[in-house]
């Protein structure tokens, strides 16, 4: 497994838990040293225990030496980063191609080279070309196997997936991939979808773009709800009970962030543009989502009477979603920026995101708890729906605030509950009179 980020480390740990022998490779010596010490470079629930048990069993190891890692391997997974490229938003594939070249230089025999990283259509063709150029006699076969892991639930998603997508037309490569994923059949009959390599690459982008569209749709409906006196949560339930639509990703909020949706929608748009097939719906989604995150800052300012200069605002949740320490494109970054630009002082609490957030939010005062963030603040804003924020003592919150105002950007609390505690509640997509 080349790369020990969210995808590589989780995948490597889960494969070893299936009984496979896995070597995780990373050029970052600090990461590998941390892993040797049993310390995780990322936060993912259950990962530390999973890694520890499989290291103890001798099935999982870590190294900075790629040659050692690929020696005798039946399959080599590429799970390195593909960040958005400056300038055009396309996926930066330099890490993928560098890994492919180094793998090719160190292959000791036939192996299936599996692209696990999220890559644009046609990337596998280039990886295959590199293999032919550098290791023509090694018998390498290049396969696409995109991941569909949710940060915060990655282990469960890996072990009990909705589907496994494998892109290859080579029967020998299919047999290897079937053997690797065979343990899944012990848990449930997760379908393995074999398809062409280019189709597999596009499936990943199409899936993420569709989910981004769905999130953005309900967010725009939320804005309409506020103007016409409807409740977006009830609207979402009303449409989500339709099996053709489904209830997932219909939770109105401050917009999507994270490591996948922002960069993957941009990469898909770049691919579409290069092939002269514009995706107008995805284009609109990206524009609306970018605007929404900043608009949530203005929503807080409006709830506070339109002027926040000299006021203190408490923020609960900084990461882009719960159960992760990932701050990439988190809505909190835009919200905090809007509040600070308007002259407010921001104090914040996040259960896991402090270390990642500090360099990105240098002017924020970091609090030790949700209640500490509320203490002396003129308003409290829920940005990320961590479990720790779902059952706060609202009476205690009210007593700590200078002004009894709770802006709930995740609609965690019913208005009646907030009212009983003496709080003014401002939600998302709620009737203005409610």
pLDDT in tens, 412-431: 999 999 999 999 999 999 99
Indicate if the pLDDT at residue 188 is higher than 70: no
Q: Would you kindly state where each structural domain of the chain is located, as residue ranges? A: 6-195, 287-426
The pLDDT value recorded for residue 38 is: 95
Tokens of 124: 């596998």
pLDDT above 70 covers a percentage of the chain that reads 99
Residues 199-221 pLDDT 10s: 999 999 999 999 999 999 999 99
Same fold, 6-195 and 287-426: yes
The pLDDT value recorded for residue 186 is: 66
Residue with tokens 């719960």: 322
Under the banding of pLDDT at 50, 70 and 90, the label for residue 189 is low
How far is it, in rounded angstroms, from Cα 320 to Cα 152? 11
Q: Decide which of 3.40.50.300, 3.40.50.720, 3.40.190.10, 3.40.50.920 is the CATH code for 287-426.
A: 3.40.50.720
Looking at per-residue confidence, does 108 or 223 come out higher? Answer: 223
Widest CA span in the chain: 74
Please indicate, yes or no, whether the overall pTM of this predicted structure exceeds 0.75: yes
Under the banding of pLDDT at 50, 70 and 90, the label for residue 57 is very high
Among residues 14, 24, 225, 260, the one annotated as catalytic is 260
Residues 347-398 pLDDT 10s: 999 999 999 999 999 999 999 999 999 999 999 999 999 999 999 999 999 9
* Catalytic residue status for 225: no
Q: Is 6-195 a CATH 3.40.50.2000 domain?
A: no
């Amino acid at each position: 497994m080349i790369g020990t980020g969210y995808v590589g480390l989780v995948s490597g740990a889960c494969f070893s838990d299936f009984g496979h022998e896995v070597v995780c490779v990373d050029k970052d010596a600090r990461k590998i040293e941390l892993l040797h010490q049993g310390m995780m470079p990322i936060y993912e629930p259950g990962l530390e225990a999973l890694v520890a048990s499989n290291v103890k069993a001798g099935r999982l190891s870590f190294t900075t030496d790629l040659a050692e890692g690929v020696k005798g391997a039946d399959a080599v997974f590429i799970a390195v980063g593909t960040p958005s490229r400056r300038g055009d938003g396309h996926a930066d594939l330099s890490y993928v191609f560098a890994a492919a070249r180094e793998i090719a230089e160190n292959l000791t025999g036939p192996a299936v080279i599996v692209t696990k990283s999220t890559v644009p259509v046609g990337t596998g063709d280039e990886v295959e070309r590199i293999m032919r150029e550098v290791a023509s006699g090694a018998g390498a076969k290049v396969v696409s196997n995109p991941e569909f892991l949710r940060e915060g639930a990655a282990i469960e998603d890996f072990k009990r997936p909705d589907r496994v997508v494998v892109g290859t037309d080579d029967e020998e490569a299919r047999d290897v991939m079937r053997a690797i994923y065979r343990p899944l059949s012990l848990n449930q009959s997760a379908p393995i979808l074999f398809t062409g390599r280019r189709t597999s690459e596009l499936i990943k982008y199409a899936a993420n773009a569709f989910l981004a569209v769905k999130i953005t749709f309900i967010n725009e409906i939320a804005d309409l709800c506020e103007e016409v006196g409807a409740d977006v949560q009830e609207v979402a339930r009303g449409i989500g009970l339709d099996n053709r639509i489904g209830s997932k990703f219909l939770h109105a909020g401050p917009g999507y962030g994270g490591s996948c949706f922002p960069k993957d929608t941009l990469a898909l748009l770049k691919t579409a543009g290069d092939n002269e097939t514009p995706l107008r719906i995805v284009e609109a989604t990206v524009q609306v989502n970018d605007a929404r995150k900043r608009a949530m800052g203005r929503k807080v300012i409006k709830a506070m009477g339109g002027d926040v200069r000299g006021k203190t605002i408490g923020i609960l949740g900084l990461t882009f979603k719960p159960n992760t320490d990932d701050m990439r494109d988190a809505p909190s970054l835009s919200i905090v920026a809007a509040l600070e630009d308007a002259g407010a002082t921001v104090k914040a609490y996040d259960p896991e995101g402090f270390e990642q957030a500090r360099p990105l939010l240098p002017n924020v005062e970091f609090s030790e708890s949700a209640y500490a963030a509320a203490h002396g603040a003129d308003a409290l804003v829920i940005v990320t729906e961590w479990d720790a924020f779902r059952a706060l003592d609202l009476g205690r919150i009210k007593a700590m605030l200078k002004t009894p105002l709770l802006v709930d950007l995740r609609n965690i609390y019913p208005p009646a509950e907030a009212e009983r505690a003496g709080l003014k509640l401002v939600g998302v997509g709620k009737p203005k009179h409610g």
